[in-house]
Structure 1
Amino acid sequence: MDADPGLEPDLEPDLDGFLLARIAEDQRLAAEAAQASGRESWDGGVTAPHGAADHVAHHDPARVLAECAAKRRLVLACRDVRPDLRLLGARPAGLDIPLPPTDQHQLAALTLALLALPYAAHPDYRPAWRP
């Protein structure tokens, strides 16, 4: 399959690869936390400072692993659509969001870019990916 000449080939595979690597890291950390605690779920059985226990329980390994699986499926589905990352740089002055996607390729690019935002502080994150 030939690449669309309008796409920036150095960005397209890297954004989905970046996300899959971050998801794998999150999955590894959740699996290690479950193994270290001796249980897969922390629902209600966590001792933590007031207010923190709910947060910890909400991010228990079982939930994080399920979230990783869902995110991975979403990234792979978007990658299969061949995202058009040109949308990410297309925004009128003063707007901090890109133009609305007009087709599935732009929607896939925007979805990947939004999924990558929580990892923006990672050294491999590229500013060009910011929606």
Structure 2
Amino acid sequence: MNDDLVDFLRARLDEDDAFAEMAVATHGGGEWLMRGRLGQEGPIEEKSTGWIVVPDTGVPDHLEALHIARHNPARVRREVRAKLGILDKYRPDATDPHPGHPCTNSVHFDPYGDEYDPDVICERHARAIDERPDGAFGNDAVLRLLALPYADHPDYRPEWAPDVRPRSWDVPHM
């Protein structure tokens, strides 16, 4: 499953980067800003060239224009590079300090049915995470969270959804 999920994420990030690159090629530069001051309408223009990216035609409104300008191609491309950097650190076997034995303080393992803190990890896991000089991780929860923005894509699989099991403090006690 994880190989497919990593491939899916890389494909979506490549698409995001390609669309951002096309926007840069069309409008020049890549950093967009809104010409009007806060509370005023104005066109969205490219920072270095002054080219109008979205005209001031009443659509989009001021808040929509701020949103569009905020998600300019330069920012999208930085975000893609950051997420690809996270994917490059993924190693499926990186965070299992006691293979073959479940961690007794894991959100996926509760041998006694008692409440436990899912934010606390065992000492062996803590050491394994702290001792990774390359920053590698093996927790697929990170991959699932990275894939969540693409949940509306036709290739997204429901089993990739993040674990939404409620935490103990989210569940009303009776």
TM-score by length of 2: 0.54
Match of 1:32 among 22, 38, 44: 22
Match of 2:154 among 107, 123, 130: 123
Report the AA paired with residue 12 of structure 2: R
Which secondary structure does the structure 2 equivalent of 1:51 belong to?
A: helix
Aligned to 1:41: 31
Cα shift readout 1:63-112 (whole Å, capped 9, x = no counterpart): 0000000000101212x34478xxxxx499xxxxxx66955698630000
Q: Percent of counterpart pairs with the same letter? A: 37
Contact 2:17 2:77 in 1 (8 A): yes
Structure with bigger strand share is 2
Structure with bigger helix share is 1
Which secondary structure does the structure 2 equivalent of 1:43 belong to?
A: strand
Match of 1:50 among 53, 62, 75: 62
CA RMSD of the aligned region, Å?
A: 2.8
Larger radius of gyration: 2
Contact 1:117 1:130 in 2 (8 A): yes
User: How far 1:38 moved relative to its partner?
Assistant: 2.1
Q: Would the alpha carbon gap of residues 39 and 12 (structure 1) be closer, same or farther in structure 2, given more than 3 Å must change? A: same
**2:51 is equivalent to residue 20 of structure 1:** no
Report the AA paired with residue 14 of structure 2: A
TM-score by length of 1: 0.70
Q: Using the alignment, how far apart are the partners of 1:72 and 1:101 within structure 2? A: 28
The 4+ residue runs of structure 1 with deviation greater than 6 A are none
